[in-house]
Amino acid sequence: MDSSNKIEQTFDYIIAGAGASGLSLLWNMLHSDVLNSKRILLVDINFKPVNDKTWCFWDDSNIPFEELIYHTWSNLEVSALSERMNEDLKKYKYHCIRSIDYAEKILEMGKASDSVTMLESKIIDFESEGNQGIIITDQGKFKADYIFQSALKPPGLVNEKLDVSLKQHFLGWEIETNKDLFNPGRAIFMDFDIPQTDGVSFFYTLPFTKRKALIEYTLFSDKLLTDEEYELELIKYLQTKYNLKSSDFTVSRREKGNIPMEDRRYPFMYCDHVYNMGTAGGLTKPTTGYTFTRIQRHAKEIVNSLESGSPIPTKRASTYRFRIYDMMLLYILDQQTDVSIQIFHDLFQKNSFDRILQFLEEETNIVQELKIFYTLPYTPFFKSIWKMKHRIFSGA
Ligand SMILES: Cc1cc2nc3c(=O)[nH]c(=O)nc-3n(C[C@H](O)[C@H](O)[C@H](O)COP(=O)(O)OP(=O)(O)OC[C@H]3O[C@@H](n4cnc5c(N)ncnc54)[C@H](O)[C@@H]3O)c2cc1C
């Protein structure tokens, strides 16, 4: 590593991390007539696209790459307390994009652009000097007016108030079966009708064809499982739900994840002139783990600000009202598995799926939210308000 203060090169913008958020920002910059001739440095440890994430989201007009959508479902199913509920979506559709397609497409655009320099290197840290940010990599230091980073946890994170810290952790198999089993028009959003032994647990199934599906065992808890433990549950589920023995299917791919579900605030800045994005920027919705749509919106907002010369937005991904809702539900998810399942059951049984997605996307108004809360058991929420009052009444 170069420990000198020598700056190898100066750029207008540095994008540190070429995952969902870094590549979305690059895509938006390259589509901007104002920004596409700026000198951009894109840094990542590895630029090889991999098929390791299936990003799902419901309709959003901000999604810039519709041609990358791999599959769309117009019907969702939820099972809880032995009741199966499914519904055709009217307002939304549920889409997925594969990380490999996304990376291939946007990295190709980066390679083809004269403005973009791609550096495969380990990012070590960031600092600032005067009006510029500096990225420290194992191939030297580089400077820019603005650095947008999604690679490192911001150092200020440990000082933020934290009451509930769960993880949404999962391991899934993409399987191909020897008989027709799945409905490729219906995604199983959450199947809670499984043993709830290690925290709130459910199966998530994305059927791509009648014989091919991604099936994930997912938990909301603070303790990760071993791969064998997730896989044992997958085997049991395939047996009980689909009557599949190991000889009836092949596993073509594994997908594993661990997404933070926390009530702490994430700092906007890593240091002066270095902005956090993506998961490192606190864009994950704490109660669902959904981040992808928020990443797309954030990238657009950054590009709009750079184009107009206005300050980069530093508003939180969620408003105060939705932060409170998330805190209450996080508290319940952490403390009471049974009650959590009852809440999910009542939520999906008594409200339209479109309205629930709209609520999860934080696009409902207070009247619509009160109507939703009216359908849920009150006592656990009152208890959670009491337990979380020190946060709720101090700005969350
Ligand atoms: C398996 C999985 C499935 C998910 N599915 C969904 C979903 O369906 N819907 C949804 O909304 N959200 C989903 N998420 C959550 C979230 O959308 C993703 O995690 C998303 O990839 C976050 O984007 P990001 O840019 O913050 O991070 P990443 O996409 O992880 O990008 C970070 C980049 O930084 C690079 N990097 C890290 N450290 C260094 C370093 N020291 N030096 C150099 N480079 C480095 C990495 O190589 C990577 O390319 C999922 C997450 C996972 C893990």
Whether residue 123 has its Cβ less than 6 Å from ligand 1: yes
Residue-wise pLDDT for 49-99, tens only, equals 999 999 999 986 666 678 899 999 999 999 999 999 999 999 999 999 999
Give the pLDDT confidence of 5-63 residue by residue, as tens digits: 788 899 999 999 999 999 999 999 999 999 999 999 999 999 999 999 999 999 866 66
C-beta 257 within 6 A of ligand 1 = yes
**How much distance in Å is there from the Cα of 19 to the middle of ligand 1?**
5
Q: Return mean pLDDT, the chain.
A: 94
Each residue's pLDDT tens digit, 248-286: 999 999 999 999 999 998 999 999 999 999 999 999 999
Residue 206 Cα, ligand 1 centroid: separation in angstroms? 20
Res. 1 pLDDT band, cuts 50 70 90: very low
Measured in Å, residue 172 CA sits from the centre of ligand 1 at: 16
Q: Decide: 122 in ligand 1 pocket, CB within 6 A.
A: yes
Distance 53 CA to ligand 1 centre (A): 8
3-state secondary structure the chain: CCCCCCEEEEEEEEEECCCHHHHHHHHHHHCCCCCCCCCEEEEECCCCCCCCCEEEEECCCCCCCHHHEEEEECEEEEEECCEEEEEECCCCCEEEEEHHHHHHHHHHHHHHCCCEEEEECCEEEEEEECCEEEEEECCEEEEEEEEEECCCCCHHHHHCCCCCEEEEEEEEEEEEECCCCCCCCEEEEEECCCCCCCCEEEEEEEECCCCEEEEEEEEEECCCCCHHHHHHHHHHHHHHHHCCCHHHEEEEEEEEEEEEEECCCCCCEEECCEEECHHHHCCCCCCCCCCHHHHHHHHHHHHHHHHHCCCCCCCCCCCHHHHHHHHHHHHHHHHCHHHHHHHHHHHHHHCCHHHHHHHHCCCCCHHHHHHHHHCCCCHHHHHHHHHCHHHHCCCC
Distance 318 CA to ligand 1 centre (A): 20
**49 in contact with ligand 1, CB cutoff 6 A:** no
pLDDT, mean of residues 183-206: 96
The CATH code of domain 165-262 reads: 3.30.70
pLDDT in tens, 336-376: 999 999 999 999 999 999 999 999 999 999 999 999 999 99
Question: What is the average pLDDT across 152-164?
Answer: 90
The least confident of 123-132, 244-253, 288-297, 377-386 is: 377-386
Provide the CATH number for the domain formed by 7-68+99-159+263-308 in this structure.
3.50.50.60
Which atom of ligand 1 sits closest to the CA of residue 52? 1
